[in-house]
């Protein structure tokens, strides 16, 4: 599942330096401030290893396409959930479709039960 919406990009539009932390934040759905603070906290813990990793990621990651998301924040949130757990998202969509199907069957049975001529037409078609 390597579509443009599920790929890690650097986000220069929302980034401060090269957009790596903003890209990680967009990919994971975490606030960019927390990602930046985590990178700063890891700097002394890893003896500065975070800096070369940041530079390598800035060189290797592609720039986030401008047209990737619409202006709707719900769409952005949806794709972040897909990246975090695709199986859970598929289960949620399947459950929503089952609910729609159940409600449609209820509407259909209401109209068929209350309309004998329609019931006869449907019976003729079977």
Q: What is the pLDDT of residues 70-99, one digit of tens each?
A: 567 777 777 777 766 777 777 888 888 998
What angle, rounded to 10 degrees, do the helices at 73-84 and 20-28 form? 80
* Helix segments in 72-115, DSSP class H: 73-84, 86-113
Q: What is the pTM of this model?
A: 0.52
**What does the block give as tokens for 126?**
């079977």
* Residue 124 main-chain phi, psi, to 5 deg: -65, -35
Nearest residue to 15 via CA among 38, 41, 33, 37: 33
Q: Grade residue 3 by pLDDT with cuts at 50, 70 and 90.
A: low
DSSP 65: P
- pLDDT of amino acid 67: 66
- pLDDT of amino acid 75: 73
% residues pLDDT > 90 (the chain): 2
C-alpha–C-alpha distance, residues 13 and 23, integer Å: 10
- pLDDT of amino acid 17: 85
| Whether the predicted pLDDT of 9 surpasses 60 | yes
User: 46: Cβ–Cβ under 8 A, 6 or more apart, which residues?
Assistant: none
Q: Grade residue 68 by pLDDT with cuts at 50, 70 and 90.
A: low
């Amino acid at each position: 599942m390597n579509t443009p919406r599920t790929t890690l990009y650097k986000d220069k539009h929302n980034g401060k330096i090269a957009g790596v932390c903003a890209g990680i934040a967009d990919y994971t759905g975490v606030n960019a401030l927390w990602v930046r603070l985590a990178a700063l906290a890891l700097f002394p813990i890893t003896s500065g290893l975070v800096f070369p990793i940041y530079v390598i990621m800035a060189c290797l990651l592609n720039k986030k396409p401008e047209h990737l998301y619409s202006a709707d924040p719900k769409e952005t949130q949806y794709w972040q959930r897909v990246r975090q757990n695709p199986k859970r998202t598929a289960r949620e969509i399947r459950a929503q479709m089952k609910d729609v199907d159940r409600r449609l069957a209820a509407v259909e049975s209401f109209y068929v039960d209350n309309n004998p001529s329609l019931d006869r037409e449907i019976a003729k078609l079977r």
